[in-house]
Structure 1
Amino acid sequence: MVNEAVVARIIEVLEQAGEQNNIDIVDVEVVGATKNPTVRVRIDHLDIEAQSISLDEVAAHTGWIGDLIDQIDPFPDAFTLEVSSPGLSRPLRRAKDFERFAGNTVALSTNAHEGRRRFTGELVGMEHEKVVLLCDGERYEFALDEINRCTIKPDFDFKSSSSKTKNK
């Protein structure tokens, strides 16, 4: 299993370069075997008003992302790099993500919080440095470091041809 410090270092380096390239590093995860892991990097436009990132744009940014990971050399052997858009089930990890996507339905997992670990509900946003979620008629607050994973749950309306993911 990959050390959290390795993932944090990759995110730190990519976020610094991402700003210069007008790219938001949405998420980084390392999966697979220790000898030849897969590094998954999800990117989007830094400008929140821009449309979703295209496949051509993802391909154009893959080079510098791979070069930066090679420079910090976080793995003793080879790794596989996968760069993609965040997709409809976009992960949320930073305070600005929770503010930006307030109003969306999210699935959140945490360490045991009031006797449960998984919550699905409407993201209110950030208040007093806590993520606020309305779930099952209750209001829950989570510190960022309590959250294991949080993703947007797209709402598919099959009567029209698009999903209802709000992007502010």
Structure 2
Amino acid sequence: MSESPRPTTDIRPIQAQLFALFEPVAVSLGYELVAVELTNTFGRRTLRVSVDRPGGVIMNPLAKLSHALSALLDVEDPISGAYDLEVSSPGIERPLQRPADFAKFSGYRCRLRLDGTASRRQITGRLKGLDGDAVLIEADGQPHSIPLAQIVRAQLQLTLDEYESLAESSPPRPDPDGGSP
């Protein structure tokens, strides 16, 4: 984990602040901090923290991390008002927030939701890596270069086999034809 926790440029400032606050705690307990998302659904705010670790996420150690993050939030108090804290594994639609994520998962299918400055709102295809500040993706048989600044949300779209292999910390080589490896 040599790269700094620089999320994509569209992440809200509070989420970037929380990422920087949580990462040392997660690392000290053996986790990789994957994503921090603050959502508001029907007036209910939720702070979702996604973490991963070699061999997958196990409940008891995850509870320890959840308590540590909750205590840190009580002390630092970076979020005003009420919210629920959820700490979990990233799941089959793993969020991608750091530039290194796009290189790490090159070859896998992903969905990018783009801001209003992009020519389209969403693009789904196979990640081809990162070129400077742009994500390379092949969609509809065409290569695309999407500036990180235009990406509002990015998620992997893993097959069950890919997900299970990632959970075991031995990523499969993605099938270029779109099937399971």
TM-score above 0.5: yes
Task: Point out which structure has higher relative CO (alpha carbons under 8 A, 6+ apart).
Answer: 2
Q: Under a length normalisation based on structure 2, what TM-score does the superposition of the two structures give?
A: 0.75
Q: Does 1:4 align with 2:12?
A: yes
- 2:140 alignment partner in structure 1: 136
* 1:112, distance to aligned residue in structure 2 (A): 4.4
Aligned counterpart in structure 2 of residue 148 of structure 1, from 152, 159, 163: 152
Q: In the alignment, which residue of structure 2 is the partner of 1:22?
A: 30
Q: TM-score, normalised to structure 1's length? A: 0.80
Cα distance, 1:113 vs. partner?
A: 6.1
1:33 shift after superposition: 7.0
Candidates 119, 131, 136, aligned match of 1:115: 119
Aligned 8 A contact 1:35 1:78 in 2: no
1:163 corresponding residue in structure 2:
161
Question: 29-38 or 18-27, which moves further after superposition?
Answer: 29-38
For structure 1, which segment, 65-74 or 113-122, has the greater mean C-alpha deviation from structure 2 after superposition? 113-122
- What are the Cα deviations for residues 60-103 of structure 1, in whole angstroms up to 9, with x where unaligned? 21111111222221233333211110001000011111111111
Aligned to 1:124: 128
Sort the Cα spacing of 1:119 and 1:34 in 2 relative to 1 into closer, same or farther, 3 A: closer
Gaps of 5+ in 2: 1-10, 172-181
Shift of 1:149: 0.7
Would the aligned equivalents of 1:109 and 1:147 in 2 still touch at CA under 8 Å?
yes
Q: How far does the alpha carbon of each residue in 1:138-158 deviate from its partner, in whole angstroms, 9 at most, with x for none?
A: 111122222111111122xxx
Quote the residue 2:65 is aligned against: 61
The superposition leaves residues 96-128 of structure 1 with CA deviations (integer Å, 9 ceiling, x where unpaired) of: 111111111001111246621211100011123
Match of 1:158 in 2: none
AA partner of residue 139 (structure 2): C
Shift of 1:36: 6.3
Q: Residue 5 of structure 2 corresponds to which residue in structure 1?
A: none
**Aligned match of 2:46:** 38
Q: How many residues align?
A: 156
The root-mean-square deviation of aligned C-alpha atoms, in Å, is 2.4
Task: Check whether the contact 1:28–1:40 (CA below 8 A) recurs between aligned residues.
Answer: yes
Distance 2:96 2:161 in 1: 18
